[in-house]
Structure 1
Amino acid sequence: MKKKSIAFIIGSLSSGGAERVVSTLCNELIEKYKVTVITFVNLSPFYKLDPRIKQLYCYDKIKPSKTAFDTIKLNYKLYKRITKHLRNEKIELVICFLTRENILGILAAKTLKIPVIISERNNPYEVNLGFLWNTLLKFTYPKANCLVVQTKIIEQYFKSFVEEENLQILANPISTELTLSRNKEIEKKKIVLNVGRFTEQKAQILLIRAFSALNEEDWCLHIIGKGPKQKEYENIIRELGMQEKIKLLSPTKSISDHYNSSSIFAFTSIYEGFPNALIEAMHYGLPCIATDCPTGPSELIENGENGFLIEMNNQIQLEEKLNVLFNDATLRSNFSIKAQMSVEKFQAVHIANDWEQIILKNLK
């Protein structure tokens, strides 16, 4: 039987959370579908992709737009190139991830009269798109066959202008590659781990200051990521005299090594869609401390049962909970077991099955 042809649209396949989800879904769905990934720019995938997945791109590189007119012109060209790829590959259903990609993907799919599923990955209550993109979102999103969101709160936002029957809540899948890389034989080191872009949203400055204030002799803090706050963080770490204890590490394809060898995971975001890094850390059995930000952490952690929830931007609470876990190996062990059990439902095979039900419903 001939496989149906589906295409994912995303800006790039770099090291972000949405990119991880797209890569994971492509790898799971390739057994049943002919899968193509269309990106805006030509970058090698950060995460492992099955060689049967076809990769196409719109441009080698994209320069930042200097004017509103440049922005409109660039996005019109992207829309045209996406449409051309979809037509040439005889794509029968489109799946888009992230706002800009969703908007352009809807326009291209509707031009070709093929069904389109879009996926919103962040918290729309917190993200300021600007007038143009917000207007385009309100115009295009109701035209999608299905909008996938990650939590009920985010679903509520879109109910005001998207038909409820076209909304679907699905959590992020845990990469099969990550699941297979779990190794309980690796010795745990006294490392507090954080994974995420160095941005205002991820608020790692809170963790840097809390960890520094505790000044625990045996423990280290490793923050894995990159982003606009890097220089600021480096300067603060230097000012605090914590260069030997706090390390800013670049994104790595061997993230499992860090999950396997760390002893605590600390998550300090001020808002999220549904946090990949927190799910992955729990999947690896890391006892976690997370801010009770909108949205995601409170749906993963039951405070005091399988981890700790703290108030956003509350350094005192973060210090207190870190100190508890530093000094209570039994609690770390209990949290570890319960955390791992509570996120097993997010394994890739389960979430991919849910996605396939949506795909089957919308395929012509």
Structure 2
Amino acid sequence: MKKLTFVTRNMKAGGAERVISQLVNNFNRAGIQCIIITLDNEEIFYRLDNAVKVHAIGRKSSNSYLDKFLKYKELRRYINVNKPDIVLALPEDIGIYVIPALLGTKIPVVVSERNNPWVMPYKKITRILRRIFYPLADGFIFQTEQAASFFSPNIRKKRYSIT
């Protein structure tokens, strides 16, 4: 059985969260085992099939920098134990940390760009990290052709199509 792991901030109400819930429920019905890893420990808004596992990492430290480091360290440990066939990270501000966290695991990481990359992310450090780490990802999902056109040909050639 194929194993697919989604990594996201939380499963509260939102567009990316709705997409994840729809995807995992459909993949689950197709016989693909799905796990959702959330960085925050928040209530799940959307209905998930009973077979879909959710692993909430939650807060690890009151220091925001240490907390982020420890969350992604826990993510790496969890991924190494569960050995999914692929990890899908979304949105982009999660993907930029999932990529380096999983370097060397030999587990493919696909990042889903859920926003307009011409204006998002707002934070300069996130844009810099995207430039550094995106070339190391195994694949990308873009919502539109215009979003894909923002990225270099090397990034665009790693584009996945979900059809």
Q: Under a length normalisation based on structure 1, what TM-score does the superposition of the two structures give?
A: 0.42
Amino acid at match of 2:68: N
What are the superposed Cα offsets for residues 152-203 of structure 1, whole Å, 9 maximum, x if unpaired? 111110126x4332124x5xxxxxxxxxxxxxxxxxxxxxxxxxxxxxxxxx
- For 2:155, the equivalent position in structure 1 comes to 163
Q: Report the Cα distance in structure 2 between the residues aligned to 1:127 and 1:48, rounded to whole angstroms.
A: 28
- For 2:99, the equivalent position in structure 1 comes to 106
Report matched runs for 1:225-244 at 5 Å: none
- Please give the secondary structure, in 1, of the residue aligned with 2:104: helix
- For 2:47, the equivalent position in structure 1 comes to 48
Q: Report the Cα distance in structure 2 between the residues aligned to 1:42 and 1:74, rounded to whole angstroms.
A: 13
Q: Under a length normalisation based on structure 2, what TM-score does the superposition of the two structures give?
A: 0.89
What are the superposed Cα offsets for residues 39-89 of structure 1, whole Å, 9 maximum, x if unpaired? 0112221010001011101115886xxxxxx44322211210110111121
Q: Report the Cα distance in structure 2 between the residues aligned to 1:11 and 1:98, rounded to whole angstroms.
A: 8
The 8 Å contact of residues 41 and 62 in structure 1, kept in 2 or not, is answered as: no
1:29 aligned residue (19, 27, 30): 27
Q: Report the Cα distance in structure 2 between the residues aligned to 1:144 and 1:90, rounded to whole angstroms.
A: 17
1:91 aligns with 2:89: no
- Please give the secondary structure, in 2, of the residue aligned with 1:158: coil
1:23 Cα deviation after fit: 0.5
RMSD: 2.0
Distance 1:128 1:86, change over 3 A: closer
The 8 Å contact of residues 42 and 61 in structure 1, kept in 2 or not, is answered as: no
Q: Report the Cα distance in structure 2 between the residues aligned to 1:113 and 1:122, rounded to whole angstroms.
A: 27
- Please give the secondary structure, in 2, of the residue aligned with 1:163: helix
Q: Report the Cα distance in structure 2 between the residues aligned to 1:39 and 1:142, rounded to whole angstroms.
A: 24
- Please give the secondary structure, in 2, of the residue aligned with 1:153: helix
| Bigger-Rg structure (1/2) | 1
The 8 Å contact of residues 78 and 104 in structure 1, kept in 2 or not, is answered as: no
1:129 Cα deviation after fit: 3.3
Q: Report the Cα distance in structure 1 between the residues aligned to 2:85 and 2:120, rounded to whole angstroms.
A: 31
- Please give the secondary structure, in 2, of the residue aligned with 1:94: strand
Runs of 4+ in 1 over 4 A off after TM superposition: 60-63
Distance 1:133 1:54, change over 3 A: same
- Please give the secondary structure, in 2, of the residue aligned with 1:87: helix
What are the superposed Cα offsets for residues 287-335 of structure 1, whole Å, 9 maximum, x if unpaired? xxxxxxxxxxxxxxxxxxxxxxxxxxxxxxxxxxxxxxxxxxxxxxxxx
- For 2:14, the equivalent position in structure 1 comes to 16
Amino acid at match of 1:16: G
- For 1:38, the equivalent position in structure 2 comes to 37
The 8 Å contact of residues 79 and 107 in structure 1, kept in 2 or not, is answered as: no
Q: Report the Cα distance in structure 2 between the residues aligned to 1:100 and 1:135, rounded to whole angstroms.
A: 11
Q: Report the Cα distance in structure 1 between the residues aligned to 2:5 and 2:72, rounded to whole angstroms.
A: 15
Report matched runs for 1:291-306 at 5 Å: none
Q: Which fold has the larger relative contact order, with Cα–Cα distance below 8 Å and residues 6 or more apart in sequence? A: 2
Q: Report the Cα distance in structure 2 between the residues aligned to 1:11 and 1:125, rounded to whole angstroms.
A: 22
Q: Report the Cα distance in structure 1 between the residues aligned to 2:105 and 2:115, rounded to whole angstroms.
A: 28
Q: Report the Cα distance in structure 2 between the residues aligned to 1:163 and 1:16, rounded to whole angstroms.
A: 26
The 8 Å contact of residues 139 and 158 in structure 2, kept in 1 or not, is answered as: yes
Percent identity between matched residues is 28
Unaligned segments of structure 2, at least 5 residues: none
- Please give the secondary structure, in 1, of the residue aligned with 2:74: helix
Q: Report the Cα distance in structure 2 between the residues aligned to 1:20 and 1:90, rounded to whole angstroms.
A: 25
1:130 Cα deviation after fit: 2.5
Distance 1:61 1:108, change over 3 A: closer
1:143 Cα deviation after fit: 1.1
Q: Report the Cα distance in structure 2 between the residues aligned to 1:109 and 1:42, rounded to whole angstroms.
A: 21
- For 1:4, the equivalent position in structure 2 comes to 2
